A = this chain, B = another copy of it.
């Protein structure tokens, strides 16, 4: 295969088992003939996250791989991977929340791209969203575009990073899952809760609050159209 042309038949989805990446996996399954999902093991505090990703991949009959990113934890100690550090219950007034691992998305996407090239896959799908920009510089569209160009130069290949959620908010992410026929799957099987509880989660951590607010907004925005 000539790696300077895009292969539109296969996609590699960066997949954590959360709401966003599960919605992206459903999106990819509608658009590509073949979909491969890759998750990263970076010593997450909740091992449940990988179990959750595995189950969803199995349920959707998607080829699934885990890549070891334990070095990430070694480089950038943070509250999502170290037991001893508490997650901010509310976002800090300035700067990113303390759950940030610097450069994490860049490393994940770069590893995913190396993996993809081994398989002659040129389309990478990631659930990052600028709407959702909570102080993470590597969720911005400008970063993703710059990274795409850099990956192409690094490996002399035409990667296309697809970001179906880049410009939509949490309510429209629920709407997208519904359109893709996966609303119940996303609501019940995904894990976004900082305390490691699947589905609706613990109900009180910042991630559960954000998820619930998005869902309520989704109901308010769309359900009335359907009555």
Contacts and interface: CB of A to CB of B under 8 A. Distances in A.
Nearest to A138: B154
B110 A106 contact: yes
Q: Is the interface of A mostly helix, strand, loop or mixed?
A: helix
A171 interface: no
B107 A111 contact: yes
Given A75-B111, A107-B111, A143-B154, 4 more contacts: A67-B74, A68-B70, A75-B114, A138-B154
Given A74-B68, A155-B102, A143 B150 contact: yes
B151 A106 contact: yes
Contact of A103 (B72, B110, B137): B110
Given A154-B105, A155-B137, A71 B143 contact: no
A156 interface: yes
A113 interface: yes
Contact of A147 (B117, B138, B140, B154): B154
Interface in A106-127: 106-107, 110-111, 113-115, 117-118
